[in-house]
Each structure stands twice: as C-alpha cells, then as structure tokens.
Amino acid sequence: MTRMTEVSQGLLGWYRAHRRTLPWREEPTAYRVWVSEIMLQQTQVVTVIPYFERWMAAFPDVQTLADAPIDDVLALWSGLGYYRRAHMLHRAARVVVDHHDGALPDTLDGLLSLPGVGRYTAGAIASIAFNLPAPIVDGNVIRVLCRLEGIETDPREGATNKRLWSLAEALIPEGQARDFNQSMMELGALVCSPRNPDCQGCPVSKWCQALATDQVAKLPLKVKRKAKRPMALACAMVQQADTGRFLLVQRPDKGLFAGLWEFPSVEVERLPSVTQGDRQVRGALAEHLTSMGLEVSLGASVSRLQHILTHIRLTVQPFEATCTKAPAQMGPTVRWVERDELDGQPLSAATRKLVQRHILNPEPNLRLL
C-alpha cells in the first residue's frame, strides 16, 4: 500500500467515526450542498447552521428560490455578509430553471457554467452530491496538505496552488470522493486547526512531514494581510412625524452591501471626536436629506457603531431624525417601513445592528451629545 493510499484510508476511517452531524450532510442533494457551500465561504459552521435551516424552510428547492423576489432572498441572508453570494445564488437558480430543467448540472463543466460557482464550489457539489472524483481545495484542505507534504511556499502562488489541486485529486480513493473530500475539510476544521492543532489525535500524523520536521506552527506559510481601509458614514434614522414609520433606502446593485436597505447615509472623510462637535457631519447629512426632497429635523447623535468587513473597518455615526414633509412618490429605491416591520427587511448588517440597538431594543446611556 502506497503512502498516499494509507493517508486516504486513514482519513476515511477517521471521518466515518468522528464526522459531525450537519443539516446538509443528512440529505446531500445537489441543491442543499450548493447552498451550504456558498454559505460556508469565509463563514463558520456554527453561524451557517441556523441560516441554512431558515433558508431551506423558505426556499426548499431551486424553483422556489428562482421564483422568490430578491428582497426576500436578501432578507434571509441578512447578517451572513458577503452579500454578492446571495445575489449569485438567486441568479444561478434562475439559470438552472431556465436552462437545466430545474436540476443542477451533474458535471463539472455544467456546474462551472453557473453564476457564482467556481472551481471549489463545483468540486464540492460534484463530489458530495454526485460522488464524482472532483478535488476541492479550501482553507482547511490547504492547511492539511501543506502540513502533510511539508509545503513551505505561498499556497496562493500559482505553482503551489496548482500543486495543491493535483495532490487533492490524487488522494481521492476510487468511488469514495464524497466521504474523502469531506474528511479533508473535517480534519482541517476539527484537528489540523490553524492554532493548537491536535497532532496526537490526528489519524495521519505518522505521514505528516510538518510534524516530523517540527514545522506545524509555521505551515502553511502565512502571508501578511493588507490593513483594513477605514470608512466613516453618517446616517439618519429618519422617522415620519405623523405615521411613525422609518425611512429606508436601497444601496446600489454593486459594491458595499449591494442591493440591501439602510437608513439614508453619507460617507464622510472622518468622524470628529465628541469635543470637536458634529456640525460639519450634521451639515453633510442634512444636505443629503434635502437633496432627496425631505424636510427633516436632525436630532441627537447616538453611539457610534463599529462594523468590521473583509477589507473595511466601518464606523457609523447615527442621528435621530424626524421628517415633517416628503415627496408623495420617491421611487423604487426608497420605502417607509413600520417599526415592527424593520426586522423583516433585507437590511445591511450594520443597519440591522442599528435597528436592534436604537429602535427595537434600545440600550440606555447610548446618546453621545
């Protein structure tokens, strides 16, 4: 038995004895695997589980998802982040219905033709749903392979990345792609973790070159990340004087929080300290509201919100505001919403935090000025 065969069999045996019970594993249809893999991109399993279960209750199949309004899709996705994923799921569902009779393709090429489906996601669907011998290489698999093979070069570099995909493919035992690919991801998640890996409990430790050369902590090679770009917003939590409804505006289809809804806001160069006062920021926000045809009285500023995104460190300065006059028709990207309907809207994650913090479950002593 070759070393690679021993590694594969060791992983399979361990996985079948120790794998977690996860909702998408219990019924690994192509649709369920696809949705779960998109949700799991850069998102922890514990976070995804309740979102996945709510999603399946609302959109149990491709047809239901394709027929759903994008606002409903985004509302269920709200809080998961990386909202382009939800847009792509919705768009791809329509492609599947229109061009594949409502069933996801059962070939790699067919899967790769869908919007938002790259090499990893196609491989995951092909192997887990259809048991095809398609490799997958995600962060967990990269870590396992780099340590197992003692790979000391940058895994994101072209030649190294190509080598990792080749290794992942070569390790797949014939007819067992479904369990093997999941065993690689499971090992990386539960045993071969980024910090403090459980090498004593690893089923393939005797074949691990990083362990043999005392390089487990050094591999995979860590590349310094770029610093997050600071971004500052001033927003108005505008409430209609006569009805008590709140004003929401929709963000553009591309860019930050694409297609989601938020309180009217303006980007500012920086937010002043409390002692500096907020006249300039307040003026920029008032000007923006006036440009929308609103007559608004800006009230107190309340506590700032810090929201961390992949490449951005966002700070939001919210203001209380009352609208006394508004145009009768404000277009499809503007809506007035009742207080008890706010939580059901497809809000950006930052706006959802503001809604919870200042409107639905207001915390005491949050006012700054």
- The pLDDT tens digits for 216-231 are 999 999 877 788 899 9
Q: Are residues 63 and 198 in the same domain?
A: yes
C-alpha 185 chain-centroid distance: 18
Q: Are residues 214 and 255 in the same domain?
A: no
Residues 192 and 204: their CA atoms lie apart, in Å, by 10
**Domain termination site, one of 167, 198, 218:** 218
Q: Are residues 205 and 71 in the same domain?
A: yes
**Domain presence at residue 224:** no
**Domain presence at residue 126:** yes
Quote the pLDDT of residue 275: 55
Q: Are residues 194 and 243 in the same domain?
A: no
**Domain termination site, one of 156, 190, 218:** 218
Encoded tokens for 124: 């995951």
* Residue 326 pLDDT class (50, 70, 90 cuts): very high
Q: Is the pLDDT of residue 369 over 50?
A: no
Q: What share of the chain is helix, strand, coil (3-state, %, to 5)?
A: 50, 15, 35
CATH number at residue 76: 1.10.340.30
Question: Which whole-number Å values give the CA distances from 291 to 243, 286, 322, 334, 351, in the listed order?
Answer: 22, 9, 16, 13, 21
Q: Are residues 274 and 168 in the same domain?
A: no
Encoded tokens for 206: 């005797």
Torsion of CA 356, 360, 366, 367, to 10 degrees: 120
* Residue 363 pLDDT class (50, 70, 90 cuts): low
**Domain presence at residue 276:** yes
Quote the pLDDT of residue 367: 46
Residues 189 and 197: their CA atoms lie apart, in Å, by 10
Q: Are residues 263 and 337 in the same domain?
A: yes
Q: How much is the average pLDDT of 358-364?
A: 80
Does the annotation count 37 as an active-site position?
A: yes
As a whole number, the mean pLDDT across the chain is 93
Most confidently modeled range among 105-114, 246-255, 295-304: 105-114
Q: How much is the average pLDDT of 233-241?
A: 96
Quick one: which of 274, 295, 324, 252 has its CA closest to 83?
252
Quote the pLDDT of residue 368: 39
**Domain presence at residue 48:** yes
Quote the pLDDT of residue 14: 97
**Domain presence at residue 365:** no
Residue-wise pLDDT tens digits, 333-359: 999 999 999 988 999 889 999 999 999
**Domain termination site, one of 194, 218, 242:** 218
Q: Are residues 234 and 203 in the same domain?
A: no
Strands 295-301 and 246-250 come out as unpaired
Q: Are 82 and 42 in contact (CB under 8 A)?
A: yes
Q: Is the pLDDT of residue 178 over 50?
A: yes
- The active-site residue, picked from 6, 27, 37, 320, is 37
Q: Are residues 192 and 305 in the same domain?
A: no
Show Cβ contacts of residue 287 under 8 Å, excluding neighbours closer than 6 positions: none
- Structural domain range at position 257: 229-360
Q: Is the pLDDT of residue 362 over 60?
A: yes
**Domain presence at residue 223:** no
- Give me the number of domains the chain comprises: 2
Q: Are 265 and 349 in contact (CB under 8 A)?
A: no
Q: Are residues 321 and 212 in the same domain?
A: no
* Residue 77 pLDDT class (50, 70, 90 cuts): very high
DSSP 317: E
Q: Are residues 204 and 240 in the same domain?
A: no
Q: Are residues 316 and 246 in the same domain?
A: yes
**Domain presence at residue 368:** no
Residues 322 and 211: their CA atoms lie apart, in Å, by 63
- DSSP readout, 48-117? HHHHHHHHHHH--SHHHHHHS-HHHHHHHHTTS--THHHHHHHHHHHHHHHHSTTS--SSHHHHHTSTT-
Sign of CA dihedral 208, 214, 218, 221: negative
Quote the pLDDT of residue 282: 92
Q: How much is the average pLDDT of 63-89?
A: 93
Residue-wise pLDDT tens digits, 194-212: 999 999 999 999 999 999 9
Given the structure tokens 């070939």, which residue do they identify?
A: 107
Q: How much is the average pLDDT of 279-287?
A: 91
Q: Are residues 214 and 234 in the same domain?
A: no
Quick one: which of 331, 326, 284, 259 has its CA closest to 87?
259
Residues 182 and 135: their CA atoms lie apart, in Å, by 11
**Domain presence at residue 205:** yes
Quote the pLDDT of residue 277: 72
274 against 173, higher pLDDT: 173
Encoded tokens for 345: 């809207």
Quote the pLDDT of residue 150: 96
Q: How much is the average pLDDT of 245-265?
A: 92
Element (DSSP H or E) covering residue 257: none
CATH number at residue 337: 3.90.79.10
